[in-house]
Structures are given as C-alpha cells and as structure tokens.
Amino acid sequence: MEDIIQVLPDRVANQIAAGEVVQRPASIVKELLENSIDADASQIQLIIQDAGRTLVQVVDNGKGMSATDARLSFERHATSKIRNAEELFHIQTKGFRGEALASIAAVAHVDLKTKRAADELGTAITIAGSEVTSQEPTSTTNGTSLSVKNLFYNIPARRNFLKGDKVELKHIIDEFERVALAHPAIGFTFHHNNQELFRLRPDGLRKRVVDIFGPKFNEKLVPVEEDTDVVSIQGFVGKPDFAKKSRGEQFFFVNNRFIKNNYLHHAVQIAFEGLLAEGYHPSYFLFLQIDPARIDVNIHPTKTEIKFDDDRTIYAILRSAVKKSLGQYSIAPSLDFERETSFDDIPLKPNGPVKPPSIEVDPSFNPFQSSPKKEHKNQFDWTEAYHQFDTPSQSSNKEIEFEGAHSTTIAYQLHNKYILTHIKTGFMVIDQNRAHQRILYEQFLKRLENQSSLSQQLLFEQTLEMTAGNRAILTSLESQLSSLGFDIEPFGPQTVVIRGIPAGLKETNASAVLERIIEDAKHNRDDLTSGNLDTLAKFMARNMAVKSGIRLEKEEMHQIVDELFACDQPSAAPNGKTALITLTLEELDKRFQ
C-alpha cells in the first residue's frame, strides 16, 4: 500500500497560514503598521485604494532593512524579535511569529522598498504568490515602503467573501485607530482613494483621542490613573452623560497592544453602576502596563486576546480605579462620613433649661375636604379619564374607520413606549416605534416611486462634526442620502454642512438621524449600495421613527394613531413585526371572572 502523508509545498502552506493571518484588508493594515512601529518609525503613512482590495501601502521612516534581511523577511517563521521559546514570555514588540509577510505575499502582489540610513542604496523586491520575481538595488529614502496589491487575486473564493467597500473601510479605520491610539508619540497620515482621512501629529493621549474622534470629545473625558505593584493603569473614561447604546469607543491596551477582554469590560461597566441607563455603554481608553512575564500574548493568531496570570486582581484594581476617578471628578455620588453639623444649631447651654418644641395645630382642619393650595400635577385624575372614554355614540364625530371598528383619537402613553386608544370593542395597544416606522416607510416608498421631492432646504445651514472615519462612510453613501432628501457637503476632514433634509424631518433631529445612519452603515444592517427603493425606504423609516422611551405629546400620539390607520398595512412594522394589538371587552371580562 502506498504512503498517503505528504509534506505540503511552501506555496500551499503559506496560503493556509494566510487564512489565519490575512482575513481581510484590515488584517494587512494591522500587520504592516505594527512592523513600522517595531522599526522605530516616527512618521507612518497609510495609503488605501478601493477599501484595500487593490492597494494597501504603508510607508515609514524607520530603521529599514539590509538586502539579506529584506529577502528573509518573507520566509515563514523568519523574525528578528525572538531567538528562543523563553523570550515569548518577555515580548515587548508587536510582531514575533514571523508569519505575517509570508502569509501576505502568498495571496497578493507585494512590492517592497527599504533602506538603512548607513547604506548608500536600498533594496527593491517584487513578489507574487510567494514567488520572488525580482530583487535589485534601488535608490530610495530611509525606511520602508511596502505595497500590497490585488489581495486574494489567486484565491477568488476568498475574495468573494469580502464585504462591501464601506464595511471593509470601516474595519481598516478600526485597526488604524487602535494603532494610532496606542502610539500618540508617532505621527500618522491615512489616505483613502486620494482623500485624506487622518493627519495625526505626535502629541499626548488626550490630544490623540480628540484628533481621532473629534473636538467635542475633549469635554467627555475623565482621567483615570492608578499605580500598583501588579498593574499600572492610565487613560480616560467617558462621562455617563455621553454614553451610547452601541459599544463604540471602547479600547483596552495592555503594554500598548490593543486587546479584547469581556472580563475587563465588565469591570468598567460595574464601576459605572447606577450612573448609566439600562442598555447604555460608557466610552473608555484605558492603558494597562504589566510585567510581560505575567501575561501570555501567544494564544491568538491576531494577538488581540491575551491571558493574565491573575485576572481577578486586575479586575478589582481596574474597577476601583475607574470608580475612584468618577468620584474625584464629581461624576459619581460620594458618601460623606463627616459629623452631622445640623446638631450644632441646637441651643443648649450647660446646666440650662431645655425648651420643648412648640407644636402648631389648625383646629379647623378637615382631612376630608380638598385644599386648593396643594396641587399634585402628577396625580392621575380618574374622574376625568372616565369621562374621556365616552360611548361610541357620544363621540362619533371624532371617530375614524379601522378594520370595521370605531377608534377615537383619544390616546394615552404607557411607559413612554406604547400608545393606548379606545375602540368600539375594547382598546388597542400600539408600539409607537413600530407604528411610526410603518407610517414613514409607506410615505418614503411612495415618494421614491413617484420621484417626488423629498428634500426641504434649511433656512440656516447646520454643521456636523464627526470622526474622519465616519465622514468617509457618509461620503460613500452620498448618492443614497441624496435620493432620500439630504443635501450634504463636506467641509474639512471632520465636518459636513447640512443644507437640506428629508421632508417631514425636524431640523433639530437631522444630526441625530445622520449619526444613526452612519452606525447602521458601519454594521452593514442594510445594503444601501444596492439602490433598492424598498430598502432605502425601510432604512430611513427605521432611523427617523420616534424611539421607545420618548415621551409624546397628545397631539403627536393622535397623529400617529390617525396616520397609522390610513396606512395600507397598519398592523405590522416594515420588518414584519407586530405594530399593534387589540384587547376586546370580552377578553377583559374573562380576566375579572
């Protein structure tokens, strides 16, 4: 019988390894940026074309490589970072596996130019699918320039798994932000399709956070600082007032390496206990410095997960540090254990008489007689409510037809989420968010189909500040937003000007709606790039609809009820979920039997 086990060719082995290291263009960005940092670069340029599909280029002014090192850097397990297994537990650099460049070169076309300051000429190497096609001396600047072109050109199946440009760009921006935050002393620039998204000058951490996430972030930051024998913690947490429902700006760094750790996240969340509404998450930018011997960074291919030898202690220290900072800056309430000073007002003298307190009594007080002096505005008037729910014959002039039943426009809001309204056979409970989505969806769909005007020009233009990454996403949605009625123009790298908004949208809500659209686009919740009218209408309806938890005025409730009953499909939201339910008098009677 023939032997069946064979050693794979290097080319195939590299492509298999690339499956772990190179998952998408953002993976390449991370590896190349970290290589530049390990090369002691003080200035790093990132250049992207077509969200990394056609080009990912990183240019640095670091130490550069000799001709021999340049060639060896593309061999598997070739590294300058470690010499033996023991050094794995004292890692101070970003990379150390020696797989990144070999894996990248296996699935793309790679051009490398590098030069050391002491050398007269540098080295240029061209590689395609792990095969070196040329290596020659070249005239180039000090440092390294590495270009990765046509990613997955030789593995079409992998290329087909890439998402749309806006999603891939979002992942690239995420990786860039993580590296840039971890190294505020290094200058970074980032260009996508010849458009500058970031220009970050060397500075402190607070300035780096503000430069990435926008000027308004400066007022949101609360400093955190703690130094112990186990771990040193520095950084910032966001004030509770600026918490979000999405887990956006949350960053942990251990020894300047970005990590993901749900256990540490829970420590921060617990520190904010009692300060955040349910479902909201704080922002944080926290740097932990710890002895490398007490952590293991070699448990995940992308090195975003690490092991601590004593994670419980670190959890306790982190929670305490955040809680202390919130208290120091008067964010969290603090207990006052000082002596109660109100006792100082008691007029007692040594050996003096004690004067009993005087008590005033109103002999004419009648507990069964209401007093006009005390008004309880929040008290519910059941008598008024009873009279408002008239019989159908008494209120027929207010009624409208709905599925054979008569419904009055009298409405009440329950827990700022549901609208209750009286119908002939009982009452109806309406989900305010889903109902409003249905109303807006049908309105937008009709306007899009009829190509009628969707935009209303603003009398006073609005400016909206955002991160450069968010602005890039907004720019990628320009045609879709225009068809929905937005008239937006870029104004600097982190600002846009709003000149027009969709008809029916309140001016005060325009910025919030755009921010929600960006969040939706980031997470690819809708394929807006398809241009499908139904998708566009659903997208706008979801982002413009009144949210659960918002208090409505009576007129607003009446409008939702009336417009919902006028819809073609009033019983369901655009996503098919139930928008209203009815409870008949017969069903209520059974409950009281």
Question: pTM here?
Answer: 0.68
Three-class DSSP labels, 323-369: HHHHHHCCCCCCCCCCCCHHHHHCCCCCCCCCCCCCCCCCCCCCCCC
Q: What is the pLDDT of residues 35-56, one digit of tens each?
A: 999 899 999 999 999 999 999 9
Task: Tell me the pLDDT tens digit for each residue of 293-325.
Answer: 887 765 555 567 778 888 899 999 999 999 999
Q: How far is CA 248 from the centre of its chain?
A: 3
Tell me the pLDDT band of 509, cut-offs 50, 70 and 90. Answer: confident
**What is the rounded distance in angstroms from the CA atom of residue 230 to the CA atom of residue 224?**
16
pLDDT, mean of residues 267-271: 93
Two tokens, residue 479: 């045609």
Phi and psi (nearest 5°) for 145?
-125, 120
| Residues 6 or more apart in contact with residue 239 via CB below 8 angstroms | 219, 220, 221, 222, 331
Q: Is 283:218 a contact under the CB 8 Å cutoff?
A: no
pLDDT for 16: 58
Q: Tally the residues of the chain.
A: 593
Q: How many helices (H) and strands (E) does the chain have?
A: 17, 23
Question: Domains in the chain, please, with CATH?
Answer: 10-202 (3.30.565.10), 221-328 (3.30.230.10), 381-593 (3.30.1370.100)
Lowest mean pLDDT among 16-20, 404-408, 523-527: 404-408
- Write down the pLDDT at residue 58: 96
DSSP assignment of 378-389, as one string?
TS--HHHHHHHS
Provide the pairing of β-strand 43-49 with 187-192. Answer: parallel
Residues 6+ apart with CB under 8 A from 286: 224, 233, 234, 235, 236, 237, 251, 252, 253, 268, 318, 322
Question: Lowest-confidence range among 344-358, 402-416, 485-499?
Answer: 344-358
Residue 94: both structure tokens together: 């970003």
- The pLDDT assigned to 13 comes to 64
For residue range 166-208, what is the model confidence (pLDDT) as tens digits? 789 889 999 999 999 999 999 999 999 998 889 999 999 999 9
